[in-house]
Amino acid sequence: MFQGETAITIDDKGRLAIPTAYRDLVARECGNRLVITYNPFEAGCLYLYPLPVWEKVRDQVNALPRTKKNSRLLQLKLVGAAAFAEPDGSARISIPASQRSAVGIEKKAVLLGMGDKFELWSEQAHHAQIRQTLGDADLGDDLQDLVL
């Protein structure tokens, strides 16, 4: 569904404009309803889910036992921090200030289409992640059979 890398500017009110290439797709796939939450696996990044995809993820995460520490942390980071977002008339969505601050997103960010969701990275974290990935020649045995 979503793919590609787009440099994004966050305005002074904490809004980003959905790239033109994704606007019709976002409208069609989720009725312009997105959910923003933390990436629980990597610092410097937020997830932006289309609402139908989010509902499945949310239900899976909430089904985990709340008495286990890792499950509880995942529930806090994903479900507890989730915020709904709908584009305004200029196709902009507001990213909560607390989330922007926590992951270090300021003026410049990078939006990645990752199939069923977007990832919104701070520019610095994204560049660091890319440098690390490009420098890691050994991606592991479990990926050796992929045709890239």
Report the pLDDT value the prediction gives residue 116, as an integer from 0 to 100: 95
Report the pLDDT value the prediction gives residue 141, as an integer from 0 to 100: 66
Report the pLDDT value the prediction gives residue 56, as an integer from 0 to 100: 97
Q: Look up tokens 């909430």; give the residue.
A: 62
Say which residues have a Cβ less than 8 Å from residue 74's Cβ, sequence separation at least 6.
40, 61, 64
With a cut of 70, list the residues of the chain below it in pLDDT: 135-148
Say which residues have a Cβ less than 8 Å from residue 121's Cβ, sequence separation at least 6.
44, 45, 105, 109, 110, 111, 112, 129
Spatial separation of the C-alpha atoms in residues 2 and 120, rounded to whole Å: 13
Report the pLDDT value the prediction gives residue 24, as an integer from 0 to 100: 95
Domain ranges of the chain: 2-126
Report the pLDDT value the prediction gives residue 15, as an integer from 0 to 100: 98
Report the pLDDT value the prediction gives residue 50, as an integer from 0 to 100: 97
**CATH code, residues 2-126:** 3.40.1550.20
Order of all β-strands in the sheet with 83-85: 2-9, 108-115, 118-122, 45-50, 34-38, 83-85
